[in-house]
Amino acid sequence: MPFKMEEIFVRLDKVRVSIKNPFQIPVTLFAREDVDIGFEAVNQLLEFISLEKTLQQLGKDFWGDNVGQIKEVILTPDFHKGAGIPVGTVVNAQGFVIPQAIGNDICCGMRLLVTDLKKEEFLANQKPLEKQLRAIFFEGKRQLPLSSRQREALLKEGLWGLQETFSDNANVGLWSYYDPIEQAKDLSFVHFQGVLPTQTAFTFDDFIKSANNTAGYDSQIGSIGGGNHFVEIQTIEELLDGATSHSWGITSDQITIMVHSGSVGLGHLVGGHFRDRAKEIFPSRITHPEYGFYPLPTDGKEKQLTINYLNAMRCAANFAFANRLFLGLMIIRAFSEVLGRKVASKLIYDAPHNLIWENEPASNCYLHRKGACPAIGAEPEINSPFRYTGHPVIIPGSMGDASYLLAGQGSSQSLTSACHGAGRSLARGEARIIDQTTYQSTISKLKVVTPIDPNAPEVRLRPDILAKYHDRLKEEAPYAYKPINPIVETIEEASIARRVARLSPLMTIKG
C-alpha cells in the first residue's frame, strides 16, 4: 500500500510517534528523531493491521459471542522488517491469537550471567578458550545426554522439570556443571520461573522416545541457532546505576555471558503446523486475508485448536528456557576446563522476546511480543528479587557494539515492553554485498568463533567454504545493525527502562 511517511507519522513528543492507519488502531512507535525507521518495516506493519478488516467480516460462527479485534500496537525503537510481522512489534489482541505475530522461534530470549572471571584472566587465555569453545559448541564435545523422562519433563515443566529429573544424568558430561541447589535459586531470576506448564508434549513423542532411556543425545538442545542468535563473552565496562548494580551483584571488569537463542527446530514445527491449521479453519465464504495472516479464535467452535496451539507454544517455550541454560553452562565448562578451576557464575536474568502472554481471563486479551521483551517495574508488594529495582532488561548491540543492562520501569504507555536489540539497518542480502574494504576493516576488530575455523589448513585451501564463512559474517557484521546508543537512549527517555551497566564484547560465538 503506497504511502508517504510524513502523511502517516504524527510525532507526539521527542520519543513517541503515532502511526495513522485506516482502522483507527492505536499504533505508537517509540523512537527519537535520530533512530532510523525503514519504509519496508512500516509497510509490513500496515499489511499486518489490515487484518482488522478481515476480523470484522467473520461472524459468530467463527468467533462465538465476541468478535476479535486488535486493541493496540506498540513498536520498539529497534523496529525493522522481519518474517511475518516486523521485529519490535507488540500486539494486544482481544479474542484471538496469531502464530505469525510471534514467529517460529518461539520464546527466543536473552540470558545474562556474571562470572568470577576478570577481564585480564580471560584475555590471557583467549587462544585455548577459542579452541575449547569451538570443540564444545561445534565439534561434538557437547556431552549433554537427556533421558526420556528428562525430555518429557523439560517440554511439560521447563526448568522445574529439569530440577525434578536431573539425577537421571547427574555428573555425566555437561550435567556435572548443573548444580541443582544453585539452579533452584536461579528460578527466581527467570521470567515465569522458566516454566509454562502444559499437560501435553504436542507431537514431540519421537524427541522423547529417541533418548534410549538415559543416554540419548540430541542435535537441538544446546544449539545456538542461526541468524542473529549468539552466545557472547563480554565484560562490564561501566556501571551506570551504582545502587542497582550492587543489588544485582554486578561489578566492573567482570566477565559476563550473554545468550541469545530460542526453541530452534521445535518452535518452527509448532509455528508452521498451526499456521496451516489456522488457514484450514478459515471460512470459505470470506475472502482470505490479503497478506496471509490467519487468526485462531479463543472462543467459539474452534476454541480447542487455539488451546492446542498455546499448549504447543508452551512446550517450545520450555525447551527454549532449557536451551539457554545449557548454552550458558557450556561456556562455564569451557572456562573451567581451560583455567583448571571451577568458574563460578550468577544468573542476572532470563526473559523471552517472542511469545504470547495471556492476560486476565476476563479481558480475553493476548499480548503478542515479537522481538520485544517485558520491562517490568518495581513491585514492592510482590516477593521478588527485583521488587525494589524493576526487572532486568537485556539489550544487546551488534558484535562490535556495546550491550546494555537496564532495569524495567513498568511503562503502561509501552505495554511494559522494551526492545531486544539494536535492530537491523541492512537486510542480509544487502549486507552480503558491502564493499570488501569496509568488511575487512570491520571484521578484523572482532573475535568470532563459528563452526568453521578460517585458519585451519584444510579450510584455507577451500575458497568455496571460506566464501560461505565470510557471507555469514557479512550478514551479522556491525554495519548491518543500527547504532545501539540512540536505541537505548529512547528506551531511557521514554521511562521504559533505565540503564544500569554497559557491557563490551570480547568474543562472540555464532552458529
Q: Is the dihedral of CA 198, 201, 207, 211 positive or negative?
A: positive
Which of these, 110, 406, 412, lies nearest to 248 by C-alpha position? 406
> For residue 224, which of 115, 305, 142, 129 has the smallest C-alpha distance?
142
384 inside domain: yes
**First vs last C-alpha separation in the chain:** 37
The H-assigned helical ranges of 9-66 are: 39-49, 51-57, 60-63
CA-to-CA separations, 391 to 201, 244, 416, 497, in angstroms, rounded: 30, 11, 11, 9
Cell of 433: 554485498
Domain contains 360:
yes
* C-alpha to C-alpha distances, 37 to 75, 281, 285, nearest whole angstrom: 11, 36, 38
Beta-carbon neighbour count of residue 38 at 10 Å?
Answer: 18
Does the residue 475 lie in any domain? no
Please give the model's pTM, rounded to 2 decimal places: 0.96
Q: Distances from the Cα of 91 to the Cαs of 99, 365, 458, in angstroms?
A: 12, 10, 49
Domain that holds residue 244: 5-425+481-509
449 within some domain: no
410: left (phi over 0), alpha (psi -120 to 50) or beta: left
Structural domains counted in the chain: 1
Q: Could you give the CA distance from residue 417 to residue 440 in angstroms, rounded to a whole number?
A: 36
pLDDT tens digit at each of 511 positions of the chain: 556 777 899 999 999 999 999 999 999 999 999 999 988 999 999 999 999 999 999 988 899 888 899 999 999 999 999 988 999 999 999 999 999 999 999 999 999 999 999 999 999 999 999 999 999 999 999 999 999 999 999 999 999 999 999 999 999 999 999 999 999 999 999 999 999 999 888 888 878 877 666 667 777 889 999 889 999 999 999 999 999 999 999 999 999 999 999 999 899 999 999 999 999 999 988 888 888 899 999 999 999 999 999 999 999 999 999 999 999 999 999 999 999 999 999 999 999 999 999 887 778 999 999 999 999 999 999 999 999 999 999 999 998 899 999 999 999 999 999 999 999 999 898 999 998 999 898 888 899 999 999 988 888 889 899 988 888 898 999 899 999 999 999 999 999 999 999 999 999 999 8
- Confirm whether 87 is domain-assigned: yes
Quickly tell me which residue has 536474568 as its cell.
349
Neighbours of 183 (CB within 10 A): 18
Residue 435 falls inside a structural domain: no
Residue 446 is assigned to a structural domain of this protein:
no
CATH number at residue 493: 3.90.1860.10
Phi, psi (rounded to 5 degrees) for 75: -120, 130
Catalytic residues: 420
How far apart are the C-alpha atoms of 59 and 476, rounded to whole Å?
Answer: 45
For residue 178, being part of any structural domain is answered with yes
